[in-house]
Amino acid sequence: MAKKQKNKIARYPVFLHVNVGMVFFAFMLIYVVICVFTYFSKKHIVGYEVKEGSLSSNNIYEAVALRDEQIVEAANAGYVNYFAPEGQRVAVGNLVYTVDESGDLLDYLKTQGSEQAALTDEDLSELRTQIVSYSADFDPKSFGSVYDFKLSLDGTVQKLASASVLQSINSLGDNSGAMQSINYCYSAGTGIVQYYTDGYEDITLGSMTADLMDSSKYERKQLINNSLVGVGDPAFKLSTSEDWMIVIQENDLDKVKSLAEREYVKVRFLKNQDEAWGKVSYVTNDAGDTFVGLSFTNSMITFAKDRFLNVELITEDESGLKIPNSSIAEKSFFVVPKSYVTKGNNNNYGVLRDKYDENGNETSEFIEVELYNENEDSYYVDDDTLRNGDLLIMPDSQEKFTVNTKDTLIGVYNINKGYADFRQISILYQNDEYSIVKSNTNYGLSVYDYIVLDASTVEGDAKNLDTSNEN
């Protein structure tokens, strides 16, 4: 039998067709992605223009005002009417208020048509000032102050109206029956008259507590015109001395001691931006709370109506060159005696470094150096110029000095010349964000210099870095 002939299948080689253009494009795309990633992941040097400025170390507190206050009690029972302007000084013998024992006075005045009180322009101006002051200090989170304002405004209106009532009373004459029940009450002392009580009249620095500093717990009783008073009830009070004090609570003992060491501290009253120097004293109570008192000898009348005041303690106020703290860096330098530093032919500073030529003969070479600081005996030289262990030769002498002593300077990187060059600074004052440094110092900064905004972006040889002067 004839054998069946097997079919043979031949496999042809497959050739890979490579598009050179696609390969080149792929390499270029990868290169661009790497460059973009490197650019955005690398820290860039940004410049900052140095300007003159000042910094204040400010501390804002809510303070309690303590004054020499004397409560005057009513000697008669009846309906009270006030005539002395609140917050103003009264002298001995000035009429402060009247007490109507029968209560028939107002009804009698109505029958005579004298109950209406016409307010003058000055009276309206006083009311307007009181309203504007309240509006400026209004805090929606402390709505309770609305009721204090209402009572105070009622008292002011009644006080202004009482002046007209007094004129009407005098016009009635002594023969009127209503006049027989009126007692005139005069001031027995001199001081600033107030028509409220709050329980703080006898408080001193030594008796302060944390609860007394809490304005949310503060209660004030306004003394209102035409209200009924009994014998011995508070009628009004006098602030009798220009010596007064504000008290703040500060439990940071280091800060308290710092204030006490100053003895006097400048205080800014946020209500009207007035400033005054207060004498410092402090006390710590049995609960461990520390209270700082600031005593004044004037301006008591300005704040006589206020028990709580927002104040700002200004403990530092330095002027100079203002720079961000992020620009400040530390850098190490070699310390070289001044006797080993000389000037070259181009009048630049440099040192003579010991070396050996190809034949092994000892010789020297002039190495130009830049000076970054100096003291009485030495210069500070960049450690990128010299090497640790270099031998320096004193000019016109055979004495040698081994470079091995280093010291650290605090400064910033100046980029006026297009590269980052270290400049020493002398810090006058510093807060969390900025520093005030001396201007026009040797090896330092001047106004309008450009410095590196973030010193951490300067790495390696600062003089080989590209910089951008952006503020």
For 134-149, write each residue's pLDDT tens digit: 777 666 666 656 766 7
- Classified as helix, coil or strand, 330 is strand
In this predicted structure, what is the pLDDT of residue 246? 93
In this predicted structure, what is the pLDDT of residue 101? 80
Residues 76, 170 share a domain: yes
Task: Name the average pLDDT for the chain.
Answer: 80
The per-residue pLDDT for range 351-381, each reduced to its tens digit, is 888 888 777 788 888 888 888 998 888 999 8
Q: How far apart are CA 10 and CA 326, in angstroms?
A: 76
In this predicted structure, what is the pLDDT of residue 469? 45
| Confidence check: pLDDT of 343 > 70 | yes
Report which of residues 128 and 142 the model is more confident about: 128
Residues 223, 81 share a domain: yes
User: What phi-psi label fits residue 227: left (phi over 0), alpha (psi between -120 and 50 degrees) or beta?
Assistant: beta
Residues 77, 203 share a domain: yes
Residues 81, 224 share a domain: yes
Q: What is the DSSP letter of 49?
A: E
Q: How far apart are CA 471 and CA 468, in angstroms?
A: 9
Q: Look up the domain containing 406 and give its range.
A: 325-464
Report which of residues 97 and 156 the model is more confident about: 97
Residues 230, 97 share a domain: yes
Residues 455, 353 share a domain: yes
Does residue 83 sit within a domain?
yes
Q: Which of 206, 239, 272 is the last residue of a domain?
A: 239
Q: How far apart are CA 363 and CA 301, in angstroms?
A: 84
Q: How far apart are CA 452 and CA 425, in angstroms?
A: 14
What is the domain count for the chain? 2
Percent of the chain clearing pLDDT 90 (strictly above)? 13
In this predicted structure, what is the pLDDT of residue 470? 46
Does residue 89 sit within a domain?
yes
Q: Which of 220, 239, 258 is the last residue of a domain?
A: 239
Q: What is the DSSP letter of 16?
A: P
Residues 186, 330 share a domain: no
Does residue 342 sit within a domain?
yes
Question: pLDDT category, 175, cuts 50, 70, 90?
Answer: very low
Does residue 46 sit within a domain?
no
Tell me which residue of 122, 65, 74 sits closest to 98, measured CA to CA.
Answer: 74
Q: Which helix (H) or strand (E) holds 350?
A: strand 349-356
Q: Which of 217, 239, 261 is the last residue of a domain?
A: 239
Token representation of residue 45: 């040097």
Q: How far apart are CA 123 and CA 34, in angstroms?
A: 78
In this predicted structure, what is the pLDDT of residue 468? 47
DSSP of 62-127: EEEEE--EEEEEPSS-EEEEE-SPTTSEE-TT-EEEEEESSS-HHHHHHHTT-------HHHHHHH
Residues 353, 447 share a domain: yes
Angle at which helix 144-172 crosses helix 121-137, to 10 degrees, equals 170
In this predicted structure, what is the pLDDT of residue 35? 79
Residues 229, 89 share a domain: yes
Question: pLDDT category, 295, cuts 50, 70, 90?
Answer: very high
Residues 211, 76 share a domain: yes
Signed CA dihedral, 145, 146, 151, 152: sign only: positive
Mean pLDDT of 236-250: 91
Residues 367, 221 share a domain: no
Does residue 198 sit within a domain?
yes
Does residue 471 sit within a domain?
no
Residues 331, 450 share a domain: yes
Does residue 363 sit within a domain?
yes
Listed in sequence order, the residues at least 6 apart from 313 whose beta carbon sits closer than 8 Å to its beta carbon are 58, 59, 60, 61, 248, 259, 265, 266, 267
| Confidence check: pLDDT of 467 > 60 | no
The per-residue pLDDT for range 257-294, each reduced to its tens digit, is 888 888 998 898 888 888 899 999 999 988 889 999 99
Q: How far apart are CA 436 and CA 323, in angstroms?
A: 7
Does residue 256 sit within a domain?
no
